[in-house]
Chains A and B, each alone.
Chain A
Amino acid sequence: MEFFHVKRDIPFMSYGKITTAISLATFLLAVFFLVHKGLNLGVEFTGGTVVEMQYSQSVDLNSVRTKVDSLKYGDAQVQALGNTRDVMVRIPNIKGKTSAQLSNDVLNTLKQDRPDVQIRKVEFIGPSVGDELVSHGLTALTLVCVGIMAYLAIRFEWRFAVSAIIANMHDVVIILGFFAFFQWEFSLTVLAAVLAVLGYSVNESVVVFDRIRENFRKPNMRGKGVPEIIDNAITATMSRTIITHGSTEVMVLSMLIFGGPALHGFASALTIGILFGIYSSVLVASPLLLMFGVTRDNMIKPVKVKQEAVV
């Protein structure tokens, strides 16, 4: 059985201008939302207290909100967690109050109305820890980029390294853009997912690059121009691209559907990351490669040197 066997190469590169324009537009849109709305940073980053509670029967969120507001804890947030029984309350750090006091206050106040409420999870993060996490997160991100670029530059060539990293940052920024637009909570697990996407998406570009390099070295490709070579590489790996992404996406969707609220943010970030990962490896990284002016000579130079040495 074969679903994705294409006989003739699809001229992806001739669409290069359109696809680059589209990705530039989505990218700018993501940046706009990031700047305009900002990320809804989780308690790990901002500090504060999060109390997750469960009622034995469904509860009116507004009544909970009024109750929590009556405590006068500044900018407290009340959210439903996927259903009408699970409620999350977020309270900023308050001087002189420990999280135990805060969570107990919240629980006791809510119990006045509805005694069937139970605490499921309490998280308290001090302000200093959050700052540290942000700096560690950024360091990790930078390190991943540098490491990947170095590896690609050694295994391939600098043009490949630069294109791959731009394409991947594009994916990362778009994921972040989604989180900013929908104001989904950006937690530590989401950060892990974003960094995993970075690895995953490079993986994707590498498969295509690998084929491009191989094509440059193939004797029967000698007469072809660079765009044709890239088109051929993308077309040849397309079947694999779709199947691999499909299976990873199945796994991630399974997490999204069956994993419950705890895995929700993680799975959402990956879902978006994988979808854009396909797109960017094919339609962002490769046109960039073309734009940077990759030629056959870039790739077969080492072979020539070897031959000369032998002669």
Chain B
Amino acid sequence: MNRYPVWKYLLIIVTVVVAVLYTLPNLFGESPAVQISSARATVKVDAALQDRVTALATKAGFTPEAVLSDANSVKLRFKDTETQLKVKDAIQSALGDDYSVALNLVPQTPAWLVAIGAKPMSLGLDLRGGVHFLLEVDMDAAVSKSLDKTAGDVRRELRDKEIRYGKIDRLRDSVVVQLRDAQTVDDTTNALRKALPNMALTEAKDPNNYSVTLTFTPASLLQLKNDAVKQNITTLHNRVNELGVAEPVIQQQGEGRIVVELPGVQDTAKAKDILGRTATLEVRLVDDDQSHLQQALAGNVPDGTVLMTERGRNGQPSPILVKKDVELTGDSINDAQPGFDDHSQPAVSISLDSTGANIFRQLTHDNVNKRMAMILVEKGKGEVVTAPVIRSEIGGGRVQISGAMTVADANDTALLLRAGSLAAPMNIVEERTVGPSLGKENIQKGFESTMYGFLAIAVFMVIYYRVFGVSSAIALSANLMFLLALLSMLGVTLTLPGIAAIALTLGMAIDSNVLINERVREELRNGMSPHMSIQNGYAHAFATILDSNVTTLIAGLALLIFGSGAVRGFAWVHCFGIITSMYSAVFVSRGLINLFYGYRRRLSTLAV
């Protein structure tokens, strides 16, 4: 009685050893590092880069303590922040714009622990400082923008096929093409069905109304929304890379929301500026009819045109009337670089993809001697950067935009265009900034409060229950280790509510031990032999432990499913804690008691 078979002892030893190993990395702390990651999709991070940056650092006179690399980045670890800063500058200037070089902290986990996959828990923003954004994609704007583009496509397609058409109206959720007769309706439907397969076409052949209406099919609407979120995530990735942030998080949350977390970012205004800019380029034709412009200035904007402002050379914006139809958008931009034009004015050189190049060639071919406007759209507002007169057809897809801009403007514009355009504008619906000192303080306070509470409980248990108390206290420590190891292994991000959950779980975990110890006392009181008391105490307490933990687990799971952010961080730890505490309270503490009492033949009293 009260002896575990050898395999049970072995199981306890193995789990404890594993727990110790996987908890260990959390104790080593972090040291400064320089992180190099690719700033563009075309530039890959590989072994060659690793060698190159190591050589660069060594050449600058600082040999890295360790070189770590993963799929997206190479990290060089140094012993102090001064070295880190110097190396960062050296590498940044040598590598140029293709890579983003960021300051980071890298765990000082020894190599042998890294080799078995042990890593410290990652800390949430509330513990390390940084910025958290929740962005909402404006789906209506995405649909609206796509319809604008459709209207342009329809016009081009009908022109190509030489089908005579009347007005093309862009309504709230459809595009309507007015036509002359039944024959053109059929021709139009045939042409558009091929060119725009994802639109639903509705024909009208009423003598008063020959038209084709284009709407999105439900499937294509869903596709459109998904694509909008995906494209925005890609774009955000590019923009964040420009910021040079170490380990940013950019994830979709729910249907149309994106979470962006930038650990360690101090300059939040700059971060928000880069993220929030929804700049995209649009090329449209200018309506140069002076009478139209006068009319528009009088408040009566002619159909199919919009009144905008143009950046003037002398800094004075001037009004300009542009057509509503978008000929070309930023989607077709392959690359954009700042530079200077023939007159040594700051300019941005743009290279277009093949579709864009074709459209642009056609556009310039058809509109010689007319003006076209290069419009930079930011946060839904368009501004004409420049509106040059088209002198001749421009092929080859290389376009230069210059206008009234400074070198800094040109740099910014190029960066925005290069980083890609957003499929739809986004609003910041949630934002949190945590200063780095506050993060450190949060860790320290969370840790201290857990430690004091833990010590108080352990001391009480030992005094109150003696040998059984010692076993309870050891089981509680084991529980703490199991929990930390589990969290580290699963890569759960530790947040302040997570620390609170660790503390609460420890406080609650002792319940199982108290239940057991009280039961053992009760059995003794009822006149059972010591061995029987241990046996029955554990057995009777188990049903209660199971019931009470399952109910707590139900609450924890509901939190996990319906919680978000802080609540979920709490719930993960809480749920894991319930599971580890059952294992340690029932199995580990019993093992200890068995080891202590189980091998004594004559047992007259228990120290409980």
Contacts and interface: CB of A to CB of B under 8 A. Distances in A.
Contacts of B448: 258
A183 interface: no
B555 A199 contact: yes
B268 A122 contact: yes
Interface residues of A, number: 74
Given A121-B433, A140-B559, A100 B272 contact: yes
Contacts of B564: 133, 136
Contacts of A203: 508, 511, 548-549, 551-552
Interface string B449-466: 110111011001101101
Interface stretch (A16-24, A237-245, A296-304): A237-245
B interface secondary structure, majority: helix
B404 interface: no
B126 A192 contact: no
A100 B507 contact: no
B217 to A, nearest CB: 28
A253 to B, nearest CB: 8
Given A195-B558, A251-B507, A266 B457 contact: no
A139 B560 CA distance: 12
B66 interface: no
B446 A248 contact: no
A126 B429 contact: yes
Interface string A242-262: 011011111111110111101
A240 B428 contact: no
Nearest to A140: B562
A122 B126 CA distance: 11
Interface stretch (B327-335, B355-363, B514-522): B514-522
Interface in B529-581: 540, 543-544, 547-559, 561-567, 570-571, 574
B269 A100 contact: yes
B496 interface: yes
Contacts of A240: 511, 514-515, 518
B92 to A, nearest CB: 27
Contacts of B553: 199
Interface stretch (B108-116, B235-243, B436-444): B436-444
A250 B456 contact: yes
Contacts of B544: 206-207, 210-211
B574 A258 contact: no
B562 A136 contact: yes
A206 B134 contact: no
Given A100-B272, A244-B510, A244-B514, A192 B427 contact: no
Contact of B445 (A119, A199, A262): A262
A173 interface: no
A13 interface: no
A188 B553 CA distance: 20
A210 B540 CA distance: 10
B507 to A, nearest CB: 3
Contacts of B565: 188
A272 B4 CA distance: 42
B378 to A, nearest CB: 14
A155 interface: yes
Contact of A192 (B268, B515, B554, B563): B563
A176 B125 CA distance: 28
A228 to B, nearest CB: 18
Interface in B126-149: 126, 134, 136
A103 B268 CA distance: 11
A214 B547 CA distance: 13
A270 B449 CA distance: 15
B430 A189 contact: no
Contacts of A198: 555
B90 interface: no
B503 interface: yes
B500 interface: yes
Contact of A248 (B430, B434, B507): B507
Contacts of B456: 247, 250-251, 254
Given A189-B497, A239-B518, A270-B504, A140 B550 contact: no
A148 B506 CA distance: 22
A236 interface: yes
B292 to A, nearest CB: 31
Contacts of B548: 202-204, 206-207, 210
Given A151-B550, A189-B497, A200-B552, A236 B522 contact: yes
A252 to B, nearest CB: 6
Contacts of A254: 449-450, 452-453, 456, 503
Nearest to A139: B562
Contacts of B438: 52, 120-121
Nearest to A126: B429
A46 interface: no
Interface in B144-174: none
B431 interface: yes
A123 B427 CA distance: 15
Interface in A161-213: 188-189, 191-192, 195-196, 198-200, 202-204, 206-207, 210-211
B600 interface: no
A118 B506 contact: no
Contact of B503 (A207, A246, A255): A255
Nearest to A209: B547
B507 A119 contact: no
A140 B511 CA distance: 25
A244 B562 CA distance: 29
Contact of B551 (A1, A52, A202, A214): A202
- Chain B CB count within 10 A is highest, among A104, A144, A214, A255, for A255
Contacts of A143: 558, 561-562
A247 B552 contact: no
B570 A189 contact: yes
B435 interface: yes
A199 B450 contact: no
B313 interface: no
A264 B553 CA distance: 24
9 nearest CB pairs, A to B: A199-B555, A251-B507, A126-B429, A254-B453, A248-B507, A251-B453, A140-B562, A258-B449, A260-B445
30 contacts: A99-B428, A100-B431, A104-B269, A120-B437, A122-B268, A123-B433, A124-B431, A126-B428, A129-B430, A137-B562, A140-B563, A143-B558, A147-B554, A151-B551, A189-B496, A196-B556, A196-B574, A200-B508, A202-B552, A240-B511, A243-B518, A244-B511, A248-B511, A251-B507, A252-B503, A254-B452, A258-B448, A259-B449, A259-B500, A260-B442
Interface of B: 126, 134, 136, 268-269, 272, 276, 427-435, 437-438, 441-442, 445-446, 448-450, 452-454, 456-457, 460-461, 463-464, 466, 496-497, 500-501, 503-504, 506-508, 510-511, 514-515, 518, 521-522, 540, 543-544, 547-559, 561-567, 570-571, 574
Given A251-B507, A254-B450, A263-B446, 20 more contacts: A100-B269, A121-B432, A122-B433, A189-B566, A192-B566, A195-B558, A199-B555, A202-B552, A240-B515, A247-B514, A250-B507, A251-B453, A254-B449, A254-B456, A260-B441, A260-B442, A262-B442, A263-B445, A263-B496, A263-B500
